[in-house]
Amino acid sequence: MDEASLYSNFYIGLAIAVVIIIAAAALLILVWFAARRILRLASAALGLVTQIKENTNSIWGLQTTNKVALDILDGAEAIESHAGLVAEALHNQN
C-alpha cells in the first residue's frame, strides 16, 4: 500500500468518525431538549395536580359530614320519641 492510499484511507476514516461524532452530539442535544421539555410539562402537571387536590379536599370531608348528619338525625329521632312519650304522659294525667 503506497503512501497516497494510506492518507486517503486515513482521511476517509477520519471523515466517517467526524460524521458519527456529529450525529451522536446532535442526538444528545435533542435528548437534552426533550428532557427539559418533559421537566417543564411535569412541573406544570404537578401544579395542576396540586390544584385538583386542594379543590377536592372538601369531597373527602363529606364522609365525616354524613356521619355527623346521621348522628344528628338519630338524636332528633330520640328527641321526637321522648317528646311524644312526654306529651302522651301529660295528656293521660289530665
The per-residue DSSP string of 43-80 comes to HHHHHHHHHHHHHHHHHHHHHHHHHHHHHHHHHHHHHH
Q: DSSP letter at 37? A: H
Per-position pLDDT tens, the chain of length 94: 789 999 999 999 999 999 999 999 999 999 999 999 999 999 999 999 999 998 888 888 888 889 999 999 999 998 988 888 887 877 877 6
Cα separation of 83 and 89, whole Å?
10
* Integer Cα distance of 13 and 15 in angstroms: 5
